[in-house]
Every structure is written in structure tokens, then in C-alpha cells.
Chain A
Amino acid sequence: MITLVFFLLIGAALLFSLFLFARRAARVEGSAQALVEAKQALHALQGELLPPGLVDRIFARQDFEFVASSTPRQVQELFLRERKKVAACWARQVRAGVLRLMNFHLGQARFYAQLSLATEMKLAVNFAALLLACRVMQFALYLGGPFAAPGIVARTVGNAARLCETSEKSLAFLDPSGLDALSKDSARHPAAS
């Protein structure tokens, strides 16, 4: 019986994969487009979403305590609603930024013949964990409001830092001097670029 279930499951899994494959739009992503998107994502994360202090400000309980101590109930509720919207928007934007960074990595790595399997696997797990953490954070914010999950917020930020570290390692085989050499080469052969 276990054998039967096993074969039925793998057959069904393939048919389901084919269904998803048939529905998938065949889109060729250009490297230039991916680079622009990655730059925009990084710029957004660095400049708009993750500067030190911003995250603390969005999730600061002191703000609510101040409002609670000096305003009527309706104002408090309005404050909570608005802060929840801001927090949810922040979480959505962080997730989108991570996704764009992931797309950039995959878009480039697929061309690279000496790609490291171990690092790719590690990156895949880290990306999946980070995206899942973002979803959990969004869910927690939706259910419990902006001050419900400070631990999850901190963990998500920590996971993102670890992911970046792994991403950096995947490219560590390159000698930084190589960039200089390439830059000089491009300066000597501007027509080639």
C-alpha cells in the first residue's frame, strides 16, 4: 500500500508541476533590467526602509503610550489603525525588496558556469526562510497590530543580515582587484562596452 501511495504521489506531483509550468508566462528577463531592479531594491532598503532608527520608530511602543496617556479613546484607536497600516506597508516593502534582490541573484547565477552548488542551496534556504519570516511578520502585524511582534521584526532583520552575508560569500571567489582590472580594461576599450 505504501508503494502504491508513493507512486501515485510522485505521478500527481509531476502532473501538478506540469499544470504550473503550462500556466507560467515565458518572460525573458534581461540582465540590465535585473540590475536596475536590484539597485532600486537596495536603494529602497537602505535609504527608505531600513535606516537605523526608522524600524524602532515604526514599532516604538512609547509613541502609543504617549498617545494613550493624553488623548481620548477614539484618537488612540485611530493612532493604532494608522500605525498598523504603516507597519504593514513597511513589511510588504521589505519583502518586495528581498524578492527583487533574490531575482537579481538568480538572474545572474544561472549564467555562471562555475556556480557553487552548496552556496546556491544555502542561499535558496536562506531566501526561503527570510521570505517566510516576512510573511509571518505581516501576519502577526495583521492580527496583533504594530506592537504585537517586536521579536519577529528583530529576527527578520537578523535573518536578512545573514542572507546578505551568504550572498557575499557566494561571490567571494572573486579577487577585488579583478574589478579594477576590468574597469581599466573597459576604460581602454570604451567601444566594447
Chain B
Amino acid sequence: MLTLVIWWITMCLEGIILFRSFYGKIASKYPLFYTYLAVVLALDLARYFVYTSHPSSWAMFYWSTQFVSVLVGYAVILEILKQALDPYQGAERFGRYLVLGVFAAVFAFVAYRSAMRSNWSPAATTVELERDLRAVQVLVLMSILAVVFYYRIAIGRNVKGMILGYGLFIGTNVMNLALRSYVGSGYHPVWEFVKSYSYVASVVVWTVTLWSHQPNPIPELPTRVESDYETLALRTRGMAAAMRSHLERTARS
């Protein structure tokens, strides 16, 4: 019964977020995120129908739809990457290469693992497959956060909510799936519990932070000459050179 209550709460909140997105005209601002949410709501409704009407098909239906849910989750990562770094072309370029680097490293690792094991398959179980795909999302999100921290990029309430909500969900999910894969079916009840509650927590975060459109703060962009990047860069270069000569003289003295 509690499972069903959690399910209803989750679907209601997803519906509220989608309703608010159209009512507040936010949907067009974050299309990938709302596409993800719409797909997840559709999957939840389908799952609810199968769970209550065809319980015998539930397990198979769950894992096949879960794969879709994981894949569409990459849309949220793309949305976060796009929204968080958009006005900062340098940071965006840095983030893009970092994310590509993470993908390349992960796929190189997978290739290495497959070469080392003669009987290796892409994933021994669906749990491991989901764990691996979520882990890639975790690494990519951490790369984006690293760029945000490093360049001190100010993030608005909406994108902050997306990052916190989705990060909370995939972070707990990776750990949960790793334990499920390691411990086995004995861990199943705990896995169910953590999975459901972490997702509810994420949806609550999204409901609060995406209630109205609150975009990222607009950075103070340079004016025509005074703050033109190249001018400033040249000035920095001059300052750096002057500082260097002072330091070198100090070091020599």
C-alpha cells in the first residue's frame, strides 16, 4: 500500500511540475528537461497500469522501461550542461571537452575490460547495466560541477534545482545499484525503498525550484572597449609581465 502511495505522490508531483511548466511558460526554456519528465511520467503511468492489472509481467516490463528511463536521463545532463555554462563560452568549451574526455575514458575502460575478459558481456545483468549507465551520468555531472566551481559560475534557482534533484537521484541510485549487484536479491527490499524515496526527494526538489522561471543570473558582460576580453587580456598580460619581473628580481635578490 505504501508503495502505491509513493507512486501516486510521485506521479502527482510530476504532473504538477509539467502543468506549471506550461502555465508559467517555462517548458520552452528547458525543453530537454521537460521532455525527460514527460517521458518518465508516461512510463510511470504505464508501469502503474501493468503493476495493478498484469502483475505477472511486471518485472520484465519494469526493466525494459527502466532502460528507456536511464537513456532519456542523459537529456537532463545535456540540459544542465547547456543551461549552466551557456553565457560563458570559455567555460562551456572547457566543460564540453571535459565531458567528452569522461565519455572517452569510460568507453576506453569498457573496451579494455572486454579485451581482458574472454567471457565478458556488456552487462551481466540489467542491474549492472543500469549501474554502469548511471555511473557515466554521475561522472559527467561531476565534471560539469567541477567547471562550475572552478570558474565560479553563478547558477539560477531553476538549473540549481535540476542539478540538485537529478544529482541526488543518480548519486544514491549508483550506490544503491552497486549494493544490489554485490549483495544480491537479499538487498532487494532496501533497494526498492531507497530507489523510491530518492526519486520522490528529487521530484520534491524540482517542484520547489521549478515552480516559476528563475534563470541564471546574467554575468556583467564587458562594454565595448573597457572590458573587451582581448583588451583585458592584454592588460592582464602586461600586469602579469610586470609582476613576474618584480618576483624574479625579488627571487634573485
Chain A residues engaging chain B, CB cutoff 8 angstroms: 1, 3-4, 7-8, 10-15, 17-18, 20-22, 24, 26-33, 35, 38-39, 42, 45-46, 50-56, 101, 103-115, 117, 120, 124, 154, 157-158, 160-161, 164-165, 167-168, 171-172, 174, 176, 178-179, 182-183, 185-186, 189, 192-193
Contacts and interface: CB of A to CB of B under 8 A. Distances in A.
Given A50-B250, A182-B225, A22 B171 contact: no
Contact of B240 (A10, A110, A168): A168
Given A46-B242, A161-B251, A7 B178 contact: yes
Contact of A26 (B155, B163, B178, B250): B155
Contacts, number: 224
Contact of A164 (B168, B173, B234, B240): B240
B230 A38 contact: no
B91 A108 contact: no
B150 A124 contact: yes
Interface stretch (B1-9, B27-35, B51-59, B133-141): B133-141
Given A51-B246, A168-B240, A108 B142 contact: no
Given A50-B250, A157-B250, A192-B225, A105 B236 contact: yes
A15 B168 contact: yes
Interface of B: 87-91, 93-94, 97, 131, 135, 138-139, 141-142, 145, 148-156, 160, 163-164, 167-168, 170-175, 177-179, 181-182, 217-237, 239-244, 246-253
Nearest to A26: B154
Q: Is the interface of B mostly helix, strand, loop or mixed?
A: helix
Contacts of A172: 237
Given A160-B247, A186-B224, 20 more contacts: A3-B182, A7-B131, A7-B174, A18-B167, A22-B160, A22-B164, A26-B156, A29-B219, A31-B221, A35-B227, A45-B243, A105-B236, A108-B229, A109-B90, A111-B222, A117-B94, A161-B247, A179-B231, A182-B230, A186-B225
